[in-house]
Amino acid sequence: MTTRYTKIWTAALAAVLFLGAAGAAVAGQIPGFLKGKVRDLSGAAGPLDRKIEQARTDAAKPGGGAAYFTAYEFLSRTKFHRGNYSGPADGYTVGTKDARIRIEDKGRGKNSVSVDGEEKEAASPAGMLLLFDGSKGAGVQDVSLLDLDQTYEFGDTPVYWLGRVENTESSGFLEKSFDALKDDAHVLDALIFALYCHEGPQTRAFLKKTAVGPRPGKVREKAIFWLGNAGDAQALADLKEIYAKEQNGSVKKQIIFAIQLSKQKEAVEELIRIAKQDSSQDVRKQAVFWLGQKASAECVKALKDIVEAPDTESGLKDQAVFAISQLPKDKSVPMLIDLAKGNKNPSVRKKAVFWLGQSGDPAALKFFEDILLKKTS
């Protein structure tokens, strides 16, 4: 099921034709960023799920197609950007009807989500697009966000416009859709991202609940990633709480990655604690790696401590030397030279010499020159 619906979904969104800024939708009107067989249900009475059911009933009428979309506007936690898709024209079958989608490359770059500058903290309207197959009964087949500054043309596949939807109602429907899915990893991941984009406490509660379980590790890791992207003190506290109870090594590594996304000072402290104390050497190596990417004074000291501690395992020392090599050269080269000259562990000295050779730094070249001159004098 996943492959078939992913194909039509990719094709539908691939039919993006940029026609200039369309702006947010006006209540009671079909917005300009949707083109094709768009039908307006924004004035229909009742909650979101009732409007979606009305779309399902309409799509099932004689002459209607099995595949259909619903679209609505919600408040995204950040400004959402999406580049154009590109690819060849093709046809896809959903249920009993072919969906012929025209695809054009307008030269606007790859599909992406980017948040820049002041927009990062500014909530902004975005579109929510849901794919359904009426012949298969209830259930979302796929989900994606729409950039309101682009225009989307869907060809013969009907699109039902539902108007503006409050975030609590939207996130509530998406969460119920998530709970109803069994093992469709693609759609589960898409729903997690869509929920993350919603402003409000309901989203944080969903991400934390999903991160804990009982979903498979890969699904939990997606929730952990987006929880880390929140970047605030509460998200960090949630990640620390989840980590303290986690036993799965792969999930622990994802939590470490999510922790290092945080700008909070306590994030570095947690990485140092994990690097020194976790029972798994493999997990500690992951924390050591991200300490090297952080490059703060606390991180540099922690890496030095790990290399110099007599009871540190050899593999972890080697990982710490690598992490040191990833620091800015004004920090890494002097530390590597000191290790190459004076560390008591032969493996550490060997690794330090190797990474000095990779640096190409003048100080490293001078170090090698001195060694060679001593050997030949």
Residues 277 and 297 in one domain: no
Residues 266 and 340 reside in one and the same domain = no
CATH number at residue 321: 1.25.10.10
Based on the fold, state whether residues 289 and 279 are members of the same structural domain.
no
Per the structure, how many domains does the chain have?
2
Residue 280's pLDDT is: 93
Residue type for position 10:
T
69, 153: one domain: yes
| 194, burial (CB in 10 Å: exposed 0-12, middle 13-18, buried 19+) | buried
User: Which tens digits make up the pLDDT trace of 68-122?
Assistant: 889 999 999 888 765 433 322 333 333 334 443 332 333 333 333 444 444 455 7
More confident residue, 165 or 58: 165
Q: What is the mean pLDDT of residues 306-328?
A: 91
Domain end residue (candidates: 268, 283, 298): 283
Rounded CA gap, 56 and 150, in Å? 26
Q: Which string of b and e fits 263-292 if b means at least 16 CB within 10 Å?
A: ebeebbebbbebbbebeeeebbbbbbbbbb
Same structural domain, 315 and 238: no
pLDDT for 120 equals 52
61 and 181 belong to one structural domain: yes
Contact (CB, 8 A) for 338 and 312: no
Last residue of a domain, one of 238, 265, 283: 283
| Selection from 247, 258, 253, 270 nearest residue 223 by Cα | 258
Q: Is the pLDDT of residue 256 over 90?
A: yes
State the DSSP code for 29: S
Q: 189 lies in which domain range?
A: 2-110+118-283
Query: Residue 46, by phi and psi: left (phi above 0), alpha (psi -120 to 50) or beta?
Result: left
Does the pLDDT at position 320 exceed 80?
yes
Kindly report, residue by residue over 50-73, the tens digit of the pLDDT. Answer: 999 999 888 887 766 678 889 999
pLDDT score recorded for residue 121: 58
Q: Is a pLDDT exceeding 60 seen at residue 277?
A: yes
For the chain, the C-alpha Rg in angstroms (whole number) is: 26
Q: Are residues 46 and 124 in the same domain?
A: yes
Do 164 and 202 lie in one domain? The reply is yes
Looking at the structure, tell me whether residues 345 and 271 fall in a common domain: no
Mean pLDDT of 260-276: 92
How high is the pLDDT of residue 45? 87
Task: Say how far apart CA 334 and CA 317 lie, in whole Å.
Answer: 17
Q: Do 247 and 317 fall into the same domain? A: no
Kindly report which listed range (4-8, 72-76, 298-302) carries the lowest average pLDDT score: 4-8
Last-in-domain residue among 242, 258, 283: 283
Q: Does 93 share its domain with 194? A: yes
Model confidence band, residue 310 (pLDDT cutoffs 50, 70, 90) = confident
Identify the band that residue 220 occupies on the pLDDT scale cut at 50, 70 and 90: very high
Nearest to 240 by CA among 219, 260, 213: 260
Residue with tokens 């506290």: 237
pLDDT for 28: 59
108-159, pLDDT tens digit by residue?
A: 333 334 444 444 557 889 999 898 887 666 688 888 888 887 777 777 788 9
What are phi and psi for residue 309, nearest 5 degrees? -65, 125
Q: Tokens at residue 32, please?
A: 């300009």
Q: Could you give the CA distance from residue 44 to residue 18 in angstroms, rounded to a whole number?
A: 30
Q: Which two tokens stand for residue 98?
A: 């072919």
Whether omega before 334 lies within 30 degrees of 0, making that bond cis, reads no
* Buried residues in 23-60 as b, exposed as e (16+ CB within 10 A): eebeeeebbebbbbbbeebbeeeeebeebbebbbeebe
- Alpha carbon distance, N-terminus to C-terminus of the chain: 73
> How confident is the model at residue 86, as a pLDDT?
30
Which pLDDT value is given to residue 104? 33
Which pLDDT score is estimated for 369? 84
Q: Average pLDDT, whole number, for the chain?
A: 80
Q: What is the pLDDT of residue 70?
A: 92
Q: What is the mean pLDDT of the segment spanning 20-40?
A: 69
Q: Are residues 127 and 269 in the same domain?
A: yes
Residue of 267, 287, 41, 295 whose CA lies nearest to 164:
41
Is pLDDT at 309 greater than 80 in this prediction?
yes
- Partners of 133 in beta bridges: 67
| DSSP conformational letter for 16 | B
